[in-house]
Homo-oligomer: A and B are copies of this chain.
Amino acid sequence: MRAAGGAALAAAAVTAVALAVAAWRRARPVREVLFFPSRPCCIEALLAEAAEPGVPARPCPCPLPSGDTALSRLVRRLLSARRSLDLCLFSFSCPQLARTVQLLHRRGVRVRLVTDAQCMGLHGSQIGRLRHAGIQVRHDQHSGYMHHKFAIVDRRMLITGSLNWTSQAIQTNRENVLVVEDAEYVKAFQDEFERIWEEYNPANYIFFPKSSK
């Protein structure tokens, strides 16, 4: 009788420890580092699943594998957005990431995008496409660059690093991206985003300034 009681007590203790560990893991902020160049990969299945969850995606005819790569991990993190996505990007010309952002916008996520005025005019920039889709875009009007490259998902997860959102950077450069949920980093970057968003309000734009760039 006493042995049975002891065994039950031990089992309860083991369950309690397992539950505590699981809770600790859930509560632990995400910390991930992605290094580029990414292996080539197809993200069609990821986008299809995000667009119509539960509906089997049609196989993509492209020859690329749809494996676990730095790019697919970055896309997954972005697709986890449910309410908001704040983007502060020097250069944005990667069509795959533009489609990811458009999909989130269609899904009702509030997307705000800040970019660099000089970069957004370059060939291949996706800014026009995103604006056309109805996404709010603001840009600098200074001689210096708006050189940040970060995203904030749901005001909770910071994605930042050296990576410009261009196909060249993703496929050929040595780059890094940190995924961070620690509140002190997220808050600092969210505050910086809000500062820039207000500063770049179109009401403050001065077109054709006298001081040339």
- CB within 8 Å of B: which residues of A? 31, 33, 35, 37, 90, 140, 142-150, 160-163, 168-169, 171-176, 178, 182, 184-185, 188-189, 192, 196
Contact = CB atoms under 8 A, between A and B. Distances in A.
Given A142-B172, A150-B162, 13 more contacts: A31-B182, A33-B184, A35-B188, A35-B192, A90-B162, A144-B174, A145-B169, A145-B174, A147-B169, A147-B175, A148-B174, A178-B178, A178-B185
A161 B147 CA distance: 10
Contacts of A90: 162
A28 B146 CA distance: 32
B173 A150 contact: no
A125 B204 CA distance: 36
Report, nearest first, the 9 A-B pairs whose CB atoms are least far apart: A144-B172, A33-B188, A147-B173, A144-B173, A145-B173, A146-B174, A147-B175, A147-B162, A149-B162
Contacts of A182: 31, 182
A68 to B, nearest CB: 16
A168 B144 contact: yes
Contact of A162 (B143, B162, B173, B185): B162
A160 B185 CA distance: 13
A185 B33 contact: yes
23 contacts: A31-B184, A33-B188, A35-B192, A90-B162, A140-B174, A144-B174, A145-B172, A146-B173, A147-B162, A147-B163, A147-B169, A147-B173, A147-B174, A147-B175, A148-B174, A148-B175, A148-B176, A150-B176, A160-B161, A160-B162, A176-B192, A178-B178, A178-B185
